[in-house]
């Protein structure tokens, strides 16, 4: 890949930056205004040779999501490179319904590898297009939040929004 487009928009959870390829597939995204942090979510071999600021198609889906259409992110194309298990895991994350988070153990079962709880957690940790591939919908056993690259406050806000809990203003 040669050129990618990056856009930062404001959301109730802070700045949200989206990096897309020429086909408007999301390569990486997250709650930061720091382009280098977004690029850092990609392996060196996957990073574009140049990045320009501009409009992305995915930004409209993020705005719609924050406007209450939780399914707006579902159809946004993403591009991720990894092992067969990672790719299967990222696909599975996109099928977790808003408001119905899974535990890492349940996610491992969904992947067909009930004993691979650490691998399931690793799939979430290596997910670059956050929100579009909703790794925030996976929790520790017992409901604890676990980790999230963009901070536990953002993860909690996303889960509350998807559960229908009104946001505190």
* Active site residue ranges: 135
Beta bridge partners of 9: 16
Instruction: Could you list the beta-strand ranges (E) of the chain.
Output: 3-11, 14-20, 26-30, 50-53, 102-103, 138-139
Task: Give the integer Cα–Cα distance in Å for 70 and 67.
Answer: 8
Q: How far lies 29's CA from each of 17, 34, 82, in Å? A: 5, 11, 17
């Amino acid at each position: 890949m040669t050129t990618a487009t990056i856009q930062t928009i404001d959301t109730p959870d802070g700045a949200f930056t989206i990096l897309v390829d020429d086909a408007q597939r999301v390569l990486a995204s997250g709650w930061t205004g720091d382009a280098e942090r977004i690029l850092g979510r990609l392996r060196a071999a996957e990073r574009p040779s140049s990045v320009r600021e501009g409009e992305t198609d995915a930004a409209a889906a993020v705005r719609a999501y924050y406007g209450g259409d939780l399914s707006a992110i579902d159809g946004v194309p993403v591009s991720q490179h990894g092992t067969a298990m990672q790719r299967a895991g990222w696909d599975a994350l996109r099928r977790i319904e808003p408001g119905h988070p899974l535990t890492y153990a349940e996610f491992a079962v969904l992947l067909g590898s009930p004993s691979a709880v650490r691998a399931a957690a690793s799939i979430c940790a290596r997910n670059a297009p956050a929100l579009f591939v909703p790794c925030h919908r996976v929790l520790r056993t017992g409901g604890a939040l676990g980790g999230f690259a963009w901070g536990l406050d953002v993860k909690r806000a996303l889960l509350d929004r998807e559960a229908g809990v009104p946001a505190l203003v």
